């Protein structure tokens, strides 16, 4: 039978070697409301898209004000990535990838504009502005009609032309 | 004559100032900033923190560690947020691992050998000793919803860069790294905390880590759909490549390190695999006709730089040096011909700084000319 002294010694050993399963437990709980301020991820199925809407015409105006410096008129000729399609991809040069001929999901466009653009002031756009810019760029790339508007429901339904063009390299690692 | 006064934080000799990273965007213009490691001017296997390569989409944020928080949420049983002070009290682990940019070695997609030194051709890979808290330790405390298959990691840089990582990797060996080579991370390498995914595409090891969300599907974020997807000759593209496959190159001799006459040289280089330990490195001095096995410098560590060495007597005639690596998982570094057959090559060369494609890991060849000049060649 274990004596009380031996049990105490074993408890100390367990602590000293970290053999007890209990971790430090120093994380603080965080509520859904607090998380909402952090969590800006938009998923391919539209999960995470905020309320709001915008049209391609509105997006064209915002583009002319806030994006044209780097991306050029109608998305060509700027220092940053061209935003117009260049037709089908005919080489292995990644520089040929554009929204219309390559991007597999429309959600990516909304998510990236919202988190990363404009370069000098990311996260300064309203949800309506992001919807409008997304609509403008998708219309420029002939993915949606020029007169079309976008909101959470319509954006989630868009099937991009290259949706099936990507091959998972090592599926066994997922 | 007495020497210099000892400083609180030592700086290297003034004679070594040329040993430095090369920058693609030194003025911080509105585009990505790259810094390449001078691998041909270093030795051993550890990259000094100040020489570690950097690819920063929008520069390093200036983060006060006292104010920084890391949230873990989504498909967990209890969302939690951690301060750096809290993380400092968790059990830590130390491991050595390389980080390589998925776009490293991109100039070798060119149909003709682009002339550049090792730094220009392969300088987007570095190796450090990292210390931090295993992600699995923190996920034990949040609990995991059985529906979770992925995690989306987010940085606190201006574009809050995000990447999706299979939860399997997150539980296997992912670390929240706090220390690099014994001291706190360099700002451009993620201070005060970064995700570290040993052996996987560098962009996924999110710097300035602020949030991890467990999900049932990948986020299909910008970097993992548009940027880090690799076009194939048939117009399709690879995605979620993850692994930096087995690779090696000779650091000495190499371009810029001109041979100073016939005689003894040690051929030395680096080998690494994102899938395991280096098992064997073979070296050729005749463009691949004959091979000799190089000695591997101990310790040979999992997903780390391994230094190989082979004594060589140069007779002064033209020679082509190559190295080829194998790992302990049965992976072998492809020849250039094998690689091009599978992945293709460009129609015309681009600039040395361009990223036409990614995940190049074929054999590199250095052509030594009779005058001792060393050129990048295809053989």
Is residue A14 pLDDT above 70, yes or no?
Answer: no
Query: Does the beta-carbon distance from B346 to A93 stay under 8 Å?
Result: yes
> Where along chain B do its domains lie?
69-221+228-234, 247-377
Answer yes or no: is pLDDT of B294 > 90. yes
Q: Is the pLDDT of residue B110 over 70?
A: yes
The minimum CA-CA distance between B81 and chain A, rounded to whole Å, is: 5
Q: How far is CA B63 from the centre of its chain?
A: 24
Q: Band the pLDDT of A122: cuts 50, 70, 90.
A: very high
**Could you tell me the two tokens for A119?**
């370069």
Contact criterion met (CB below 8 Å) for B354 and B111: no
Q: How many helices (H) and strands (E) does chain A have?
A: 7, 4
Please determine, for residue B2, whether its predicted confidence score (pLDDT) is greater than 70: yes
Q: Which CATH architecture does the domain made up of B69-221+228-234 adopt?
A: Alpha-Beta Complex (3.90)
Closest residue, chain A, to B85 (C-alpha): A26
Q: How confident is the model at residue A86 (pLDDT cuts 50, 70, 90)?
A: confident
B115 vs A75: which has the higher pLDDT: B115
* CATH at residue A62: 1.10.760.10
Quick: pLDDT tens for A140-170: 999 999 998 999 999 999 999 999 999 999 9
As a whole number, the mean pLDDT across chain B is: 97
What does pLDDT average to over chain A?
88
Asked which of A4-8, A70-74, A166-170 is least confident by mean pLDDT, the reply is A4-8
Q: Using CB atoms, pick whichever of A43, A70, A166 lies closest to residue B30.
A: A70
Q: What integer pLDDT is reported at residue A4 of this predicted model? A: 56
List of chain B residues whose C-beta atoms are within 8 Å of the C-beta of residue A88: 235
Share of chain B above pLDDT 90, in %: 98
A118, A62 contact by CB (below 8 A):
no
- B332–chain A Cβ distance below 8 A for any pair: no
List the 121-150 stretch of A: residues with Cβ below 8 A of B: 122-123
Among 1.10.220.10, 3.10.150.10, 2.70.98.10, 2.60.40.650, name the CATH number for the domain at B247-377: 2.60.40.650
Using CB atoms, which residue from A23, A95, A105 is nearest to B220? A105
Could you give the ipTM of this predicted complex?
A: 0.94
Give the one of B161, B217, B346 whose C-beta lies nearest to A91's C-beta.
B346
Which pLDDT score, from 0 to 100, does residue A84 have? 81
Inside any domain, residue A32? no
A 7-46 residues with CB < 8 A to B = 18, 23-30, 35, 38-45
Point out which residues pair with B327 in neighbouring strands: B278
Q: For residue B231, give the nearest of A18, A35, A92 by CB distance.
A: A92
Q: Nearest chain A residue to B166 by CA: give it.
A: A174
CB-CB under 8 Å, B243 with A173 = yes
- Rounded Cα distance between A134 and B266, Å, is 57
pLDDT at A38 over 90: no
Q: How many domains does chain A have?
A: 1
- State yes or no: pLDDT of B147 exceeds 50: yes
Calpha distance B61→B59 (Å, rounded): 6
Q: Which domain holds residue A114?
A: 55-164
Binning pLDDT at 50, 70 and 90, where does residue B66 land? very high
Query: Rounded CA gap, B2 and B5, in Å?
Result: 9
Average pLDDT in the B263-274 region? Answer: 98
The confidence band for B246, taking pLDDT boundaries of 50, 70 and 90, is very high
Specify the pLDDT at position A19. Answer: 46
What is the DSSP secondary-structure string of B73-106?
EESBSS-EEEEHHHHTTS--EEEEEEEE-TTTTG
Mean pLDDT value across residues A2-28: 63
């Amino acid at each position: 039978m274990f004596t009380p002294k031996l049990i105490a010694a074993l408890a100390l050993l367990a602590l000293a070697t970290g053999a007890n399963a209990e971790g430090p437990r120093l994380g603080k709980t965080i509520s859904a409301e607090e998380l909402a301020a952090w969590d800006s991820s938009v998923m391919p199925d539209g999960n995470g898209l905020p309320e709001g809407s915008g049209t391609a015409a509105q997006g064209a105006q915002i583009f002319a004000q806030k994006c044209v410096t780097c991306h050029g008129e109608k998305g060509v000729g700027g220092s940053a990535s061209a935003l117009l399609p260049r037709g089908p991809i005919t080489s292995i040069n990644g520089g040929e990838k554009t929204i219309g001929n390559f991007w597999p999901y429309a959600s990516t466009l909304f998510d990236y504009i919202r988190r990363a653009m404009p370069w000098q002031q990311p996260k300064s756009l309203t949800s309506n502005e992001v919807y409008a810019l997304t609509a403008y760029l998708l219309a420029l790339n002939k993915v949606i009609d020029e007169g079309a508007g976008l909101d959470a429901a319509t954006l989630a339904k868009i099937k991009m032309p290259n949706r099936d063009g990507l091959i998972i390299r090592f599926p066994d690692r997922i | 004559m007495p020497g210099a006064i000892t400083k609180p934080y030592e700086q290297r000799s003034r004679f070594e100032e040329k040993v430095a990273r090369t920058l693609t965007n030194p003025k911080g213009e509105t585009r990505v900033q790259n810094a390449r490691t001078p691998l041909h001017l270093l030795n051993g296997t550890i990259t000094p923190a100040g020489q570690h390569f950097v690819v920063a989409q929008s520069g390093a944020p200036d983060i006060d560690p006292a104010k920084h928080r890391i949230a873990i949420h989504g498909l967990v049983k209890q969302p939690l947020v951690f301060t750096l002070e809290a993380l400092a009290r968790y059990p830590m682990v130390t491991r050595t691992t390389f980080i390589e940019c998925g776009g490293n070695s991109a100039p070798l997609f060119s149909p003709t050998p682009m002339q550049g030194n090792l730094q220009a051709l392969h300088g987007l890979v570095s190796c450090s000793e990292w210390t931090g808290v295993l992600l699995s330790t923190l996920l034990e405390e949040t609990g995991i919803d059985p529906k979770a298959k992925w995690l989306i990691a987010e940085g606190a840089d201006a574009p809050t860069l995000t990447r999706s990582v299979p939860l399997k990797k997150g539980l296997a060996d992912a670390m929240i790294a706090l220390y690099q080579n014994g001291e706190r991370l360099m700002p451009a390498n993620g201070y005060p905390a970064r995700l570290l995914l040993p052996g996987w595409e560098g962009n996924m090891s999110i710097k300035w880590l602020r949030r991890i969300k467990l999900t049932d599907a990948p986020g299909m974020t910008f970097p993992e759909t548009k940027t880090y997807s690799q076009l194939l000759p048939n117009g399709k593209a690879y995605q979620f490549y993850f692994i930096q496959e087995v690779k090696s190159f000779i650091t000495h001799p190499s371009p810029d390190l001109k041979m100073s006459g016939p005689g003894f040289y040690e051929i030395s280089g680096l080998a690494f695999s994102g899938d395991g330990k280096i098992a064997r490195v073979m070296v050729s001095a005749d463009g691949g006709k004959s091979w000799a096995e190089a000695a591997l410098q101990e310790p040979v560590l999992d997903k780390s730089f391994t230094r190989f060495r082979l004594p060589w007597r140069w007779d002064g005639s033209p020679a082509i040096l190559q190295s080829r690596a194998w790992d302990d998982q049965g992976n072998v570094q492809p020849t250039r011909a094998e690689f091009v057959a599978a992945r293709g090559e460009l129609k015309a060369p681009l600039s040395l700084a361009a990223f036409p494609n990614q995940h190049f890991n074929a054999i590199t060849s250095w052509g030594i000319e009779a005058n001792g000049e060393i050129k990048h060649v295809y053989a």
